[in-house]
Amino acid sequence: MTSSVRLTGIESPVPTGLFIGGQWRAASSGATFDVLDPADGSLLAQVADGTTDDVTAAVDAASAALPGFAATPPRQRSEMLRRAFQILTDRAEEFARLMSLENGKALPDAKAELTYAAEFFRWFAEEAVRIDGDYRVAPAGGTRTVVTHQPVGVCLLVTPWNFPAAMLTRKLGPAIAAGCTSVVKPAEDTPLTALLLAQVLAEAGVPDGVVNVVPTMDAEEVVATAMADPRLRKISFTGSTEVGKILLKQAADQVLVSSMELGGNAPFVVCDDADLDAAVDGAMLAKMRNGGEACTAANRFYVQAPVAEAFAGKLAERMAAMTSGRGTDEGVTLGPLVNEETVAKVDRIVTGTVDAGARVLTGGTRPQGPGFFYPPTVLVDVPEGAPALTEETFGPVAPITTFDTDEQALALANATPFGLVAYVYTGDLARGLRLAEALESGMVGLNRGVVSDPAAPFGGVKQSGLGREGGHEGIGEYLTTKYVSFPL
């Protein structure tokens, strides 16, 4: 197998092997799998197809590296992350192009992701040196309690394809800051970014074995093997609720510390007193950032009846004005979706919603030709229960329905098993805060179309997940609490 690939527009060769114990290697089976360019379905690279033996070797390496890394002075771990932040920032263009090539996303989205991804390293570089503890006096006197925080241990980090860099840095940042070692299983569609990121971390001084990467086409067996390894202590997963539930069941067998960032079905509520142009700007961000392939993507629009037609018209106009094409092409604002399965799902959801009675304002038809393209689509008069409202579309589709009262908006918005994020636009701050408190979600964008921020505790309620990533909370997911009790 080749151990790296040269790609158009990317200066350095991109590694394509497994990264275990600081070494690049072929899969134990010698097999590779294909990574495709979503713009035309052509072959981009062949990547080592990790086996269950390979993931066990990665757990060996992570386990061997753990005691030394856990004992590394926090300042040193901090500086590794700070250097990695700097390298990512210096090589932003290259990383953005790579993500655009393997994921399909438009370059502006890829650049925004890279900035966001690098910030996790800077944020957690700052958190690494602030892991605190305390000294307590027992209420009855005499006994003293010293509370301290230690790294959880060996972590398995399973990531999705929609943000190939950021979904990984927001796990690796806190893991490294806390002194944990990791085995990374990147998504099949986008392993190259994870592999290049591993190379950057090594260059930044992260010791061998602290970060190991095992791409594979056999996620089910490879992940299950690592989950059953008694040396593993934590799983952090970002992906579908369906797979999250499988992993939580596996985690139960070893009582693994579990962080789950799962599916969403975000409502976007526009009140009649909102600044409509600001609401449309926010909707474009919440809906179209990353082509709609985000768990935070606005999935359902609830607009108060008096402003619904005006909002829908303005949104359709903005959506229709987007430029579709190969993500790396100049001026493109909407790339292809990641793969055939994703574009077929979007097509099925739109067709099902139109069959249920919705009206198409723009888009709505999958284009002929190569690549996994779907046009920006706005649907109105969407009946309750239509697939575009109940399923997470993960594509450039905005279904709009109306409401009359805030109570009705809340009932509609909360009628889902998911609760990741919700958006509210209103000119009345008190009204907005009342709605924000009553919305069943881990995050609310109030007069904002994007909530993600490395300094904020990202995460969901209900079936959208467990735990928080980013913020002060983020490092806590990789630490365990211990106390020493003694008489004085």
Element holding 68 (H helix, E strand): helix 52-70
* 219 touching ligand ADP, by CB under 6 A: yes
Residues 352 and 358: their CA atoms lie apart, in Å, by 9
Nearer to ligand ADP, 72 or 240 (CB): 240
- In the bound state with ligand ADP, the residue whose beta carbon lies nearer, of 188 and 229, is 188
* Residues binding ligand ADP: number (CB under 6 A): 13
Q: Which of 44, 131, 201, 243 binds ligand ADP (CB under 6 A)?
A: 243
Q: Does 48 bind ligand ADP (CB under 6 A)?
A: no
- Pick the closer one to ligand ADP by CB: 177 or 294: 294
**Active-site position among 102, 127, 188, 261:** 261
Helices marked H in 255-371 — which ranges? 276-288, 305-320, 340-355
- Only one of the segments 217-225, 275-283, 345-353, 449-457 lies at the binding site for ligand ADP (rule: CB under 6 A); that segment is 217-225
CB 187 within 8 A of CB 215: no
460 lies in the binding site for ligand ADP (CB under 6 A): no
Which whole-number Å values give the CA distances from 432 to 43, 302, 303, 422, 436, in the listed order?
Answer: 48, 14, 14, 12, 6
- Binding piece for ligand ADP, criterion CB under 6 A, among 90-98, 182-190, 422-430, 479-487: 182-190
Cβ neighbors of 141 (< 8 A, separation 6 or more) are none
Helical residues (DSSP H) of 162-218, grouped into ranges:
166-178, 191-203
C-beta neighbour count of 385 within 10 angstroms: 10
Name the segment binding ligand ADP (CB under 6 A); options: 218-226, 359-367, 443-451, 455-463. Answer: 218-226
The 3-state DSSP class for residue 358 equals coil
Q: Which is nearer to ligand ADP, 247 or 308 (CB)?
A: 247
| Shortest Å, Cβ 220 to ligand ADP | 4
Cβ closest to ligand ADP, residue 167 vs residue 274 = 167
In whole angstroms, the minimum distance from the beta carbon of 287 to ligand ADP comes to 18
Binding region for ligand ADP (CB under 6 A) out of 139-147, 156-164, 251-259, 283-291? 156-164
Measuring CA to CA, how many Å separate 417 from each of 143, 158, 302, 348? 46, 23, 18, 21
Tokens linked to 35 = 């990574």
Smallest distance, ligand ADP to C-beta of residue 157, A: 10
Closest to 174 measured CA to CA, from 232, 210, 126, 124: 124
Helix (H) or strand (E) holding 34: strand 32-36
- Which long-range contacts link 128-133 to residues 24+ away (Cβ below 8 Å)? 128/74, 128/75, 128/77, 128/78, 128/81, 128/176, 128/177, 128/178, 128/475, 129/74, 129/75, 129/78, 131/74, 131/177, 131/178, 131/475, 131/479
Does residue 349 bind ligand ADP (CB under 6 A)? Answer: no
Please tell me the distance from the alpha carbon of residue 6 to that of residue 98, in angstroms, as a whole number: 11
Stretch that binds ligand ADP, among 138-146, 193-201, 235-243, 405-413 (CB under 6 A): 235-243
DSSP characters over 451-470: ---TTS-B--EETTEES-BS
Say whether residue 239 binds ligand ADP (CB under 6 A): yes
* 384 interacts with ligand ADP by CB under 6 A: no
Among 49, 188, 229, 261, binds ligand ADP (CB under 6 A): 188
What is the rounded distance in angstroms from the CA atom of residue 165 to the CA atom of residue 162?
9
Tokens of 257: 């510390």
Which of 94/218 has CB closer to ligand ADP?
A: 218
Q: Is 477 a catalytic residue?
A: no
| Contact string 116-155 vs ligand ADP (x = CB under 6 A) | ----------------------------------------
Q: Is 187 in the site for ligand ADP (CB under 6 A)?
A: yes
Amino acid at 450: V
Select the residue interacting with ligand ADP from 220, 277, 355, 407 (CB under 6 A).
220
Nearest residue to 234 (alpha-carbon basis) of 482, 479, 470: 479
For residue 170, state whether it binds ligand ADP (rule: CB under 6 A): no
- Residue closest to ligand ADP, measured at CB: 239
Smallest separation, CB 163 to ligand ADP (Å): 11
Indicate whether 246 belongs to the interface with ligand ADP (CB under 6 A).
yes
CA atoms of 336 and 326, how far apart (whole Å): 7
Which residues would be at the binding site for ligand ADP (CB under 6 A)?
158-160, 185, 187-188, 219-220, 223, 239-240, 243, 246
Report the catalytic residues: 261
